[in-house]
Chains A and B, each alone.
Chain A
Amino acid sequence: MSAAEGSSLEPRVSFWNDPNTRSYAVQAIMVLALVALGYELYANASVNLARLGKTFGYDFWYKSAGFDILQSLIPYTSSSSYGTAIIVGFLNTILVAVLGIFLATVIGFLVGIMRLSKNWLIAKIATVYVELIRNIPLFLQILIWYGAVLKPLPGPKQALNVGGFYLSNRGLNMPSPVFDSGAWLGLVGLIAGIVGAIILRRWARARQMATGQPFPYIWGGFGLVIFLPIIGLLVAGWPVSWDTPKLGAFNFSGGATIIPEFIALLFALSVYTASFIAEIVRAGIQAVSHGQTEAASALGLRAGLTTRLVTVPQAMRIIIPPLANQYLNLTKNSSLAVAIAYPDLVAMGGTVLNQTGKAIEVVLIWMVVYLSLSLLTSSFMNWFNSRMKLVER
């Protein structure tokens, strides 16, 4: 190829120094090395598996697991399959991640804004919180919440009782609602409330655009979402009763129970992640130039409106990308649940791995799940980011 070119055209670089040649050579060597490595790993794995009398495959997925799980969002008994156990773990991971993200965002924004407070004491408390929490390993914090805060709580008999909620070393026992027939009217009311709130917001926006008259759509929407389901339930004759926890011989019965493992993990994850979110929020707000707030007050906006309409929307652009990263970190860090035996994906996978010896298969499940979660988060955040992006001429 290059010889043919050389005959018609004077070669400007020698064959050996041609960047194209070099790049093809490097890539060819790299492909060869990767293929060789892959083959080596494959050959070793097949020899080792044969030596141990194992095979590769997911046939264990449908076999009966034979162990119990502390907390499960879907029906699960010890006779359910290994596959079900792993799905239970996955759902538990999602549960703690979603609640953790919510809680961490609330605490993080609060602390981040506190750090910028003009009140010296408030700002210092927020600073100490951030510097203290983010310099202690999360793993240790989970153990502290579990082993030094929740486990020393009194037993069920001396449980702390706050309005029907019992906090003891068995976790949090609380009343759970029981819905009788006719409760669907409440659900209808809820859906109507949400739809109504969305319509109200659109109408309020359109009116403000047209006439300049603002409408308190936040409070209005809030009212719709809360009162319409209540009206629906009242129409049905209030078909809701509460199942309250009752103290038995050793433990509570009835009501809903939140296991201490979950509480410890949730608190540790959100408190830890919040310290990072607080720094992101602070940096984001500080990055909005002072001229923006000055311009807003020159236009006569009150401090609250300035924050809501001028500072926060601009700060959000800077905050969102690192925030997405923190959400992802929280999700990945929820795998530390294994330290306190909260049945998340990694803990369940570990149990299955111990019982079946299917190391490669279980590790593959972990990798696929976590990689898809990161891809999902990053694509969602990219979409969100492009919506929030500065629209320039």
Chain B
Amino acid sequence: MEPAVAYVRTEEAPKLAAPANLVGWRGWVLANLFPNWKNGLLTIIAGLFLYWVLSNVLGWALFRAVWTGENRDACAVEGVGACWPFVQAKFLQWIYGFYPIDQRWRVNICFLVGGAALVPMLMPSAPHKIWNALFLLVVFPLIVFILLTGGHFALPLSTFAGVAALLAIAAALLPLSVYGIEEGIQKARINLVLAGVGIVVWIASFLMNFGTVPTPIGVMSVGKSVATLLFFASGGLAIVQLMADRNLGALSVLRGWLIVALALFLAMLLLKIDFGLEPVETSQWGGLLVTLVVAITGIVFSLPLGILLALGRRSNMPIVKYFSISFIEIWRGVPLITVLFMASVMLPLFLPPGVNFDKLTRALIATAIFASAYMAEVVRGGLQAIPRGQFEAAQALGLSYWNMMSLIVLPQALKIVIPGIVNSFISLFKDTTLVAVIGLFDLLGIVVAGFADSKWASPQTAPTGYFSAALIFWVFCFGMSRYSQFIERRLNTGHKR
């Protein structure tokens, strides 16, 4: 049948393309750069500004720059830009400082091992995070310390004996933790009495001077040797008792004690052994090496200290609470520079006569204290974000305070604050530049020190040096802040409503 009206369409009309000024690059430009005349004017002004900045910076850093040269003659020319040969000549010094050139491989090993351990730590999908963290926080610092300083420390045998005595006292107290305090006192009466007598004898030997006797580890006062023997007896008794008990808890506590004891002795042995490494004074360290050492030491020490302070701040015990609050607020309230000055001029006055730290150690102490106050606030933020129900559920299960914190609350809280921890590491990394004020040659310090080199003195030396230092710091900090944002996004997905 013929259709009655000819103008009725039998098929869909073809889709017209969108207007050219709404799609493609033209549409984008119109929508984002010239939506109306005011915005268009702004765009033009901003564009001119951008052109001015870029042409100046690029002209200085690339087009007018000096690329080759042996000394200042190449750069001390009117109208030239950046003096890159200066950077080339000084670059290795910026990384290693005055570390002896034939020993730089030691620093390289530290960089390599640290990087190799850090990469899987930063990848959320990599397994064995706990072992990785343990390596980074305990084993790696030890390796770095021995490699960089050269090891071979004069640890006298009496230090080993002292540590052994402390471990023996700890062993004597193990039954208390296995059986609980009341039952433990019942069961371990003998070795507790022995340890107590030992402590009394030890204190007495400080107050009175007995004669000295030769012992297997050298000459010791009678009192101290008697006390040490008592400690060993009491610790040994406790261990025998626990082993005889075949109780699963007893064995696991004993294993923990054994691991700690072995680790301590291994660490002391490693520090004592002569690996044949040439000793390098910390005053010879410098450049990026010192920057990283200060920043990483700061963060490694500030984490545990910060966690303790944050827990203390939320404690119910008034003395612990107010101590934590005042510690945190005092160090957060003063600038890092005064803390560094304090460590460099005031700390030596408060140390026992004869005890002295080198400059680097003093700076490390200052940054560790300063960073832990900030870390405490970061961790507190995480603790406050954990719902009360988690604490209450843990208590209802009968967990002790430390079990509740270490098994239930802290794992959740620390996970939340990973971005915060990375951010405080970024500020710490930037703050390490301040150690130059107390005479250490960190990356910035050594760059600035290079300006005084008459071989390279030219009007462009300082700007080039500052530019390169800024670039290096920027690459580190920007990378870390990107990482922190990545982690934040990853953590967010689980809790999005």
Residues of A within 8 A of B (CB): 14, 16-17, 23, 26-27, 30-31, 34, 40-41, 44-45, 47-49, 51, 118-122, 125, 131-132, 134-141, 143-144, 147-148, 151-152, 332-333, 335-336, 338-339, 346, 350, 353, 359-360, 363, 366-367, 370-371, 374-375
Residue among A125, A141, A152, A359 with the most chain B CB within 10 A? A359
Closest-by-CB residue of A relative to B342 is A363
Q: Mark B427-442, 1 if CB is under 8 A from A, else 0.
A: 0001101101100000
Residues B301-349 near A (CB distance < 8 A): 316-320, 323, 329-330, 332-335, 337-338, 341-342, 345-346, 348-349
A214 to chain B, nearest CB (A): 24
B41 to chain A, nearest CB (A): 10
Q: How far is the CA of A314 from the CA of B181 in the complex (A)?
A: 56
Tell whether A147 pairs with B433 under 8 Å between CB atoms, given A346-B338, A363-B345: no
**CB of B218 within 8 A of chain A?**
no
Q: Are A136 and B473 in contact (CB under 8 A)?
A: yes
A346 to chain B, nearest CB (A): 6
The A-B contact count (CB < 8 A) is 159
Q: Are A119 and B333 in contact (CB under 8 A)?
A: no
Residues B21-76 near A (CB distance < 8 A): 32-33, 35, 39, 42-43, 46-47, 49-50
A139 to chain B, nearest CB (A): 4
B338 partner, pick from A31, A120, A136, A367, beta carbons under 8 A: A367
B401 to chain A, nearest CB (A): 9
Q: How far is the CA of A148 from the CA of B463 in the complex (A)?
A: 5
Closest-by-CB residue of A relative to B471 is A136
Q: Are A137 and B353 in contact (CB under 8 A)?
A: no
Of B121-129, B161-169, B408-416, B474-482, which binds chain A? B474-482
Q: How far is the CA of A40 from the CA of B430 in the complex (A)?
A: 34
A140 partner, pick from B350, B437, B473, beta carbons under 8 A: B473
A83 to chain B, nearest CB (A): 19
**CB of B120 within 8 A of chain A?**
no
Q: How far is the CA of A359 from the CA of B350 in the complex (A)?
A: 11
Q: Are A48 and B353 in contact (CB under 8 A)?
A: yes
**CB of B444 within 8 A of chain A?**
yes
List B contacts of A359 (CB < 8 A): 345-346, 349
A357 to chain B, nearest CB (A): 9
Q: How far is the CA of A30 from the CA of B341 in the complex (A)?
A: 28
Q: Are B349 and A48 in contact (CB under 8 A)?
A: yes
Q: Are B337 and A336 in contact (CB under 8 A)?
A: yes
**CB of B352 within 8 A of chain A?**
yes
Beyond known contacts A27-B318, A137-B473, A359-B346: 6 more, CB 8 A cutoff? A119-B35, A119-B43, A139-B436, A144-B470, A346-B341, A370-B338
Q: Are B444 and A137 in contact (CB under 8 A)?
A: yes
List A contacts of B220 (CB < 8 A): none
CB-CB nearest 10 A-B residue pairs: A135-B477, A120-B32, A16-B181, A137-B430, A332-B335, A335-B335, A374-B333, A139-B433, A27-B319, A359-B345
List B contacts of A47 (CB < 8 A): 353
A26 partner, pick from B32, B317, B330, B470, beta carbons under 8 A: B317
Q: Are A121 and B50 in contact (CB under 8 A)?
A: yes
Q: Are A119 and B317 in contact (CB under 8 A)?
A: no
Q: Are B349 and A138 in contact (CB under 8 A)?
A: no
Q: Are A137 and B433 in contact (CB under 8 A)?
A: yes
B451 to chain A, nearest CB (A): 8
A118 partner, pick from B35, B49, B467, beta carbons under 8 A: B35
Residue among A136, A148, A370, A371 with the most chain B CB within 10 A? A136
Q: How far is the CA of A370 from the CA of B334 in the complex (A)?
A: 5
Residues of B within 8 A of A (CB): 32-33, 35, 39, 42-43, 46-47, 49-50, 180-182, 316-320, 323, 329-330, 332-335, 337-338, 341-342, 345-346, 348-353, 426, 430-431, 433-434, 436-437, 444, 448, 459, 462-463, 466-467, 469-470, 473-474, 477-478, 481
Q: Are A143 and B448 in contact (CB under 8 A)?
A: yes
B345 partner, pick from A139, A147, A353, beta carbons under 8 A: A353
List A contacts of B481 (CB < 8 A): 131, 135
List B contacts of A17 (CB < 8 A): 180-181
Q: Are B33 and A120 in contact (CB under 8 A)?
A: yes
Tell whether A139 pairs with B181 under 8 Å between CB atoms, given A121-B43, A131-B478, A144-B466: no
Main secondary structure of the interface of A (DSSP, over half): helix
List A contacts of B430 (CB < 8 A): 135-139
Tell whether A350 pairs with B341 under 8 Å between CB atoms, given A17-B181, A140-B444: yes
A334 to chain B, nearest CB (A): 8
List A contacts of B353 (CB < 8 A): 44, 47-48, 51
Tell whether A118 pairs with B330 under 8 Å between CB atoms, given A136-B470, A335-B335: no
Query: Could you show 18 A-B contacts with beta carbons less than 8 Å apart?
Result: A27-B317, A31-B319, A48-B348, A119-B32, A121-B43, A132-B474, A136-B473, A137-B431, A139-B433, A139-B444, A140-B469, A147-B463, A338-B437, A359-B345, A359-B346, A360-B346, A374-B332, A375-B333
List B contacts of A336 (CB < 8 A): 335, 337, 434
Q: How far is the CA of A125 from the CA of B351 in the complex (A)?
A: 52
List B contacts of A51 (CB < 8 A): 353
B43 to chain A, nearest CB (A): 5
Q: How far is the CA of A302 from the CA of B342 in the complex (A)?
A: 56
Q: Are B335 and A147 in contact (CB under 8 A)?
A: no
Q: Are B334 and A121 in contact (CB under 8 A)?
A: no
B182 partner, pick from A16, A121, A135, A140, beta carbons under 8 A: A16
Tell whether A135 pairs with B474 under 8 Å between CB atoms, given A26-B317, A121-B50: yes
Q: Are A26 and B320 in contact (CB under 8 A)?
A: yes
Q: How far is the CA of A45 from the CA of B347 in the complex (A)?
A: 9
List A contacts of B42 (CB < 8 A): 119, 121-122
Q: Are A367 and B334 in contact (CB under 8 A)?
A: yes
List A contacts of B35 (CB < 8 A): 118-119
Q: Are B434 and A139 in contact (CB under 8 A)?
A: yes
Q: How far is the CA of A380 from the CA of B300 in the complex (A)?
A: 35
Tell whether A140 pairs with B433 under 8 Å between CB atoms, given A152-B459, A333-B335: yes
List B contacts of A147 (CB < 8 A): 462-463, 466
List A contacts of B351 (CB < 8 A): 44, 48
List B contacts of A152 (CB < 8 A): 459, 463
